[in-house]
Amino acid sequence: MNLIREIWQSIVRRDPLSTDKGKSELVFLNVWLHIHPAKVKKENLRFRYTFYLGFITFFLFMILVTTGIALMCYYRPFPPQAYQDMKDLQFVVFMGPFLRSMHRWAAHAMVVCVFLHMCRVFYSGSYKKPRQFNWVIGVLLLLLTLGLSFTGYLLPWDQLAYWAITVGTNIGSYAPLVGGQVRELLLGGHTVGEAALIRFYVLHVAVLPSLMILLTVVHFWRIRKDGGLSRPTWRLKPSRPEALVTIGAPPETAPLKTVPASKDKTYGLMEVVTGKPIFETITPEEEEDAVFSYPYAFFREAIALMVTVTGIMAISLFFHAPLEALANPAKTPNPAKAPWYFLGLQELVSHSALLGGVVAPALMVLALLAIPYFDRNPSRRPSDRKWAIWLFTIFVVVNLVLIVIGTFFRGPGWAFVPPWVHVVAGAE
């Protein structure tokens, strides 16, 4: 028994979890958990503040990496074989349909969750100082998510894949000066073919996931460095200025003040070095609002993980990822549609190539990137930010409406056809 205890101790190296010291050490003596603070604010754990969308997005990404690596074992990225490998996954590989469906549905879910996460961050004003740059990284992560989904879309090499990528890259080619060249660089030619498939594959399994992991690390690291999750400050009781305490090294003239906190309370190294908490000043009330990450935050995160995993598994059990006929460059479906998240753009392109293919996407991305620098209003209280909230809501609604129109209301020849009207496809 002693040996087992010794081995266990050599692994965890912390005090028992029944003590506050043990709870703190669980976090900062563990390489995987130390991205967390030892203590978190109670109100940040509230489901209705964050909806755990950031976590869910990250868990979806983990599902995608895991299932993606498994799928790579069965996939050859050149034209006729790629499609045959899909068929083998569907009919011969043990749990192949389940695996592919999980990857597919998690990918769609991730696009949705990244977007919802962005909305949550906007509406809570969390992009404001000091978190401006983390918002920019978040926008880049959104673009990477779209890029990963788009490159993965081609890999099954069926009609759906082939024509979605053909349409999608055509939208991109409307960009002035560089559009055509970028498309050619991406496709390795003028049309979607063998060269495009291997390029999309390399982007999908190597380049984009690496960038995604790098930026995710920065994104998480900056959350801590920017003072943890933003707090719904407008809901907090106003603090009494005289109760403020400054932690760490004092100004040269004053003697060191300490906080009447528990003996085992730990502070980040940075706080000691700079002489004050980096961005937030702690009041005694706030200190009482904080709880240990273990178990309060960790169990909630674990529950978010399990909800994500079970949700994707349950969907994949009953709905299998679609696979259409083998890609056929000679047979254009009517209408040929881009992946659903680009259908808003395709809808705009159908009215004006310049507007939909160039102006709108460029403006959207630039506007998103500029939000934290353009919005000088320091308040995060919703009632102080009516204009910002209105503008962003219009942006979200317009996007959603365009995507819904493009997805459900467009029939052959991009004519307006409501989904409840059945169109008999022409003989030709």
Partner 1 sequence: MGRRLPQIFFALSMLALALIVAAVWQASTPSWKNYQHSFLQLEAQEEPNAVTKAAVLATPPQIHQTLLPGLQRVDRCTTCHLGVDDPTMKNAPEPFRYHAGLGPHIPSKFGCTICHGGQGLATDKDDAHGKVQFWDTPLLSKDYIRASCGRCHKEGDVPGVPELTEGRRLFETQGCRGCHKLNGVGGSIGPDLTEEGASHRSPDWLERHFLAPNVVSAGSAMPNFHFDREQARALTYYMLSLTNEEMGSYYSSVRLIPSPEYGRQLFVAKDCIVCHAIGGTGAKAGPDLLGVTKRHSPEWLDEQLVNPQLVYPGSSMPEYDLETNARKALVAFMSSATAQDAQNILAHRGNALTPADVAIEAGKRDFARFGCAGCHGTELQGGVPNPNAQGGQVPSLLHVSDDYTKDEVIEIIRNGKVPPLDKASGPTPPLYMPSWKHLLSDEDIHQLVDFLWSKQEKAKDAW
- E strand or H helix at 41: strand 39-41
Report which residue type is found at 400.
L
Closest distance to partner 1 from the beta carbon of 68 (Å): 17
Closest distance to partner 1 from the beta carbon of 96 (Å): 8
Distances (CA, A) of 259 to 19, 24, 282, 285: 20, 17, 10, 12
Only one residue has tokens 């409307």, namely 174
Asked if residues 135 and 392 have their Cβ atoms less than 8 Å apart, the reply is: no
Report which residue type is found at 258.
T
User: Is 316 one of the binding residues for partner 1 (CB under 8 A)?
Assistant: yes
Closest distance to partner 1 from the beta carbon of 369 (Å): 37
Q: Specify the residue, 274 or 310, whose C-beta has the smaller distance to partner 1.
A: 310
- E strand or H helix at 40: strand 39-41
Closest distance to partner 1 from the beta carbon of 376 (Å): 37
d(CA 111, CA 399): 14
- In the beta sheet, which residues pair with residue 41? 290
d(CA 352, CA 346): 10
Q: How far is CA 46 from the centre of its chain?
A: 20
Q: Specify the residue, 5 or 422, whose C-beta has the smaller distance to partner 1.
A: 422
Q: Specify the residue, 97 or 284, whose C-beta has the smaller distance to partner 1.
A: 97
Among 194, 264, 324, 384, binds partner 1 (CB under 8 A): 324
Only segment of 57-65, 82-90, 221-229, 354-362 that touches partner 1 (CB under 8 A): 82-90
In the DSSP assignment, the letter for residue 416 is B
Query: Coil, strand, or helix at residue 326?
Result: strand
Only segment of 5-13, 69-77, 89-97, 255-263 that touches partner 1 (CB under 8 A): 89-97
d(CA 330, CA 191): 12
Q: Specify the residue, 90 or 216, whose C-beta has the smaller distance to partner 1.
A: 90
In the window 277-306, what residues touch partner 1 (CB under 8 A)? 291, 295-296, 299-300, 302-303, 306
User: Is 184 one of the binding residues for partner 1 (CB under 8 A)?
Assistant: no
In the window 50-79, what residues touch partner 1 (CB under 8 A)? none
User: Is 307 one of the binding residues for partner 1 (CB under 8 A)?
Assistant: yes
Q: Specify the residue, 191 or 310, whose C-beta has the smaller distance to partner 1.
A: 310
Q: Specify the residue, 310 or 332, whose C-beta has the smaller distance to partner 1.
A: 310
Among 28, 51, 74, 98, binds partner 1 (CB under 8 A): 98
Asked if residues 42 and 291 have their Cβ atoms less than 8 Å apart, the reply is: yes
d(CA 360, CA 27): 45
Site size toward partner 1, by CB under 8 A: 37
Among 1, 3, 11, 427, binds partner 1 (CB under 8 A): 427
- E strand or H helix at 171: helix 159-172
Q: Specify the residue, 259 or 309, whose C-beta has the smaller distance to partner 1.
A: 309
Among 35, 69, 72, 95, binds partner 1 (CB under 8 A): 95
User: Is 416 one of the binding residues for partner 1 (CB under 8 A)?
Assistant: no
User: Is 42 one of the binding residues for partner 1 (CB under 8 A)?
Assistant: yes
Structure tokens at 338: 């881009």
User: Is 236 one of the binding residues for partner 1 (CB under 8 A)?
Assistant: no
Q: Specify the residue, 16 or 250, whose C-beta has the smaller distance to partner 1.
A: 16
In the window 127-156, what residues touch partner 1 (CB under 8 A)? none
Q: Specify the residue, 51 or 296, whose C-beta has the smaller distance to partner 1.
A: 296
Closest distance to partner 1 from the beta carbon of 357 (Å): 29
User: Is 91 one of the binding residues for partner 1 (CB under 8 A)?
Assistant: yes
**How many other CB atoms are found less than 10 A from the CB of residue 164?**
24
d(CA 52, CA 57): 9
d(CA 203, CA 308): 26
Query: Coil, strand, or helix at residue 108?
Result: helix
Structure tokens at 375: 């919005």
Only segment of 105-113, 117-125, 251-259, 321-329 that touches partner 1 (CB under 8 A): 321-329
Task: Please give the angle made by the CA atoms of 212, 164 and 340, to the nearest 5 degrees.
Answer: 70
**How many other CB atoms are found less than 10 A from the CB of residue 73?**
8
Binding residues (CB under 8 A) for partner 1: these are 42, 45, 84, 87-88, 90-92, 94-98, 158-159, 291, 295-296, 299-300, 302-303, 306-307, 309-310, 313-314, 316-317, 322-325, 426-428
